[in-house]
Structure 1
Amino acid sequence: MDQFDLTVTDIQAETALIRAIMLARPHGEPLPSWEAGAHVKVRLPDGGERSYSLINTSLDPAATTRPHAYRLGVRLEQPSQGGSQFMHALKVGDVLSVAAPRNNFPLEPASKPIVLLAGGIGVTPVLSMATTLAASKHPYRFIYASRSRDQLAFLSESEALCGEHLSVHTDDTAGIFDVKGLMTSLTSDEPLYVCGPKPMIDTAIQSAKDLGWADGRLRFEIFATAAPLAGDQPFEVVLNSSGKTFLIPPDKTILAVLIEAGEDPMHDCQRGDCGICQVSVIEGTPDHRDYILTDAEKAAGKLMQICVSRSKSPRLVLDL
């Protein structure tokens, strides 16, 4: 993956917890093109990486075709695992190592009107989608939900861009947004794109099953990394190609342990929703925690996403 240095050229406080950060090459040279839903990976001082969606609210195609800057929206997580603290401590002039854009959440061609739902910081890729749809004059609806109005980042830009296509929901005045209610109201097979916190995604996935939606009608991206669950136990992972054995503690993922040991497994999102880290399971029983595999694939136990899933058995042998 291409890696290059970018300079912080501007920082704006969008809310008390969300900052908009502009990045550019030192002399303003064009950057790789991207499409709505794409993200870049930022290298952290400890060698780790964090993914941040790219934001565009300009109807000018040049804004994403060989652009001269990238714009990110970063929420300060509490508690933070280090990425958001680092990003919020940046100053204009600081230099970051950034990977070229990748897109695991693209807008797909559609004949129907498209419905967009953003929760909190999930607005970042969804706002870029709204921009693309507005520029192409494709019919769409954009619902932006948050706990309160003062937590709605990029709101003025969303209102200016989307006009009557935008609906704003705040939990403090209207209660928690009814995801299933929205989905039940969509009776013409409209595609739904959702990005937001894990409970919102989980509700959307279960609602799609309950309502009998066709595969692919619901598309989503989750903004939450893997977190330990109560009762998680250590287990061993064996790499079939080399026979190397690794102990996976309760507070670390398989992927994290392998990377720390100098292995180089393919990966991207580290949230279980892109499928790039998927591996075959030769022995053992996975504990699936991803958003990629079907119920049948999970039951078969032959595949797993090593960025989030764990093991129900004391030992896993993986095709790595």
Structure 2
Amino acid sequence: MPGNAATLTVSVKEDVAEGVVSLTLARPDGARLPDWTPGSHIDLVLPDGTTRQYSLCGDRWDAHTYRIAVLREPAGRGGSAYVHDRLRPGDRVGVGGPRNHFPLVPSEKYLFIAGGIGITPLLPMVRQAELLGADWQLLYGGRTRASMAFREELTEAYGERVHVVPQDELGLLDLATWLGIPRPDTKVYCCGPAPLLAAVEAACAAWPPYALRVERFTSAAQTAPVRDTPFEVELRRTGRTVTVTPEVSVLDAVRRAGADVLSSCEQGTCGTCLTPVLEGQPDHRDSVLADHERAANDCMFLCVSRSCGDRLVLDL
């Protein structure tokens, strides 16, 4: 369990689409929960010890509840099955975070693109864009209408700004029409399955730098590390230096040296183990940082990233 996990109670569990349930979580004593911003997610620690990350999709101005939505994934690792089949209102779960590695940046216009359960982090963004008076559109694709969570909630609240595209009725999202002409005044936010993210990234190749921001539920495919030989990592605060061999992660190596680093997914997607880099060039292998954040070389995710050179110095 993440070291900062709090114990919350499942106050409401409801079906919100075919194969999708939402959970409303609150403190057992009804006390205020930590604030969050659109794009944030939490670690959900289930009673069996399983930890999974889910985007917050409720009302950020409600200080006493969190809402998440969970898609049943038959090919998953068991977390969604537990939520769907065993978790009940009144049960207690651990919650770590919230953390935000998918923040909504200021813009005159937004295009939000969701695929399936990828609608969850975009829901609070839509509300925020509306609150700020920005010009926005939501393109929402799914297998069928019945499988698209919060579809009616969105269309009832925002009408024609929401474009619902069930694949069995209308086919795949028409990305060429929506993204074919770059718009310097528009930010594009996308979340969904890997094929959709890849298609959106390709369609935005000619857009201005940093116009597109994506969030992945699974780690991106990895090429081989920059180096396959050992390198050294200095822990600046303790003065210790450890050697990281090819078969060991930086996270495991620094923990063996006594560093107390929180982690959760250990796949480079949740953002828990983000650590400042003081010297050296990381070999970034996560699925969170944008290109300009990687180029800064001032932080890295220890669970999957490595070193390009012989030495890294971390603020640990």
TM-score with structure 2 length normalisation? 0.77
Q: Which amino acid in 1 is paired with 2:12?
A: D
Instruction: Give the distance between the partners of 2:277 and 2:48, measured in 1 at CA.
Output: 26
Match of 1:149 in 2: 145
Match of 2:169 in 1: 173
Give the C-alpha shift of residue 73 in structure 1: 0.6
The correspondence for 1:91, drawn from 75, 82, 88, is 88
Instruction: Give the distance between the partners of 2:32 and 2:262, measured in 1 at CA.
Output: 28
Q: Judge conservation of contact 1:77–1:84 (CA < 8 Å) in 2.
A: yes
Match of 1:216 in 2: 210
Q: Which amino acid in 2 is paired with 1:126?
A: L
Give the C-alpha shift of residue 267 in structure 1: 5.6
Match of 1:128 in 2: 124
Give the C-alpha shift of residue 164 in structure 1: 1.1
Where does structure 1 lack aligned partners over 5 or more consecutive residues?
57-62
Give the C-alpha shift of residue 276 in structure 1: 2.7
Please report the RMSD computed on the Cα atoms of aligned residues, expressed in angstroms. 3.9
Q: Judge conservation of contact 1:32–1:66 (CA < 8 Å) in 2.
A: no
Give the C-alpha shift of residue 189 in structure 1: 2.7
Q: Which amino acid in 2 is paired with 1:107?
A: L
Match of 1:71 in 2: 67
1:198 aligns with 2:194: yes
Q: Judge conservation of contact 1:2–1:100 (CA < 8 Å) in 2.
A: yes
Match of 1:276 in 2: 274
**Secondary structure of the structure 1 residue equivalent to 2:73:** coil
Percent of matched pairs sharing the same residue: 31
Distance 1:187 1:303, change over 3 A: closer
Give the C-alpha shift of residue 288 in structure 1: 3.8
**Secondary structure of the structure 2 residue equivalent to 1:150:** helix
Instruction: Give the distance between the partners of 1:188 and 1:243, measured in 2 at CA.
Output: 46
Q: Which amino acid in 2 is paired with 1:97?
A: G
Give the C-alpha shift of residue 144 in structure 1: 0.7
Q: Judge conservation of contact 1:273–1:292 (CA < 8 Å) in 2.
A: no
Distance 1:237 1:184, change over 3 A: same
Cα deviation code 1:145-204 (max 9, x no counterpart): 112222201111111122111001122233332435421245353111111122222333
Instruction: Give the distance between the partners of 1:294 and 1:19, measured in 2 at CA.
Output: 34
Instruction: Give the distance between the partners of 1:169 and 1:257, measured in 2 at CA.
Output: 47
Give the C-alpha shift of residue 7 in structure 1: 0.4
Cα deviation code 1:213-232 (max 9, x no counterpart): 2222212211114678899x
1:6 aligns with 2:13: no
Q: Judge conservation of contact 1:194–1:220 (CA < 8 Å) in 2.
A: yes
Q: Which amino acid in 2 is paired with 1:42?
A: L
Instruction: Give the distance between the partners of 1:84 and 1:13, measured in 2 at CA.
Output: 13
Give the C-alpha shift of residue 53 in structure 1: 1.0
Where does structure 2 lack aligned partners over 5 or more consecutive residues?
none
Aligned length: 305
Match of 1:53 in 2: 55
Pick which of 114-123 and 193-202 moved more.
193-202
Alignment of 1:106-125 (within 5 A): 106-110=103-107, 112-125=108-121
Distance 1:126 1:8, change over 3 A: same
Give the C-alpha shift of residue 77 in structure 1: 2.5
Q: Judge conservation of contact 2:8–2:95 (CA < 8 Å) in 1.
A: yes
Cα deviation code 1:43-89 (max 9, x no counterpart): 24575632211112xxxxxx423522111011222322343233333
TM-score with structure 1 length normalisation? 0.76
Distance 1:72 1:301, change over 3 A: closer
Match of 1:59 in 2: none
Q: Judge conservation of contact 1:19–1:75 (CA < 8 Å) in 2.
A: yes
Distance 1:46 1:261, change over 3 A: farther
The correspondence for 2:76, drawn from 80, 98, 101, is 80
Q: Which amino acid in 2 is paired with 1:182?
A: W
Q: Judge conservation of contact 1:116–1:126 (CA < 8 Å) in 2.
A: yes
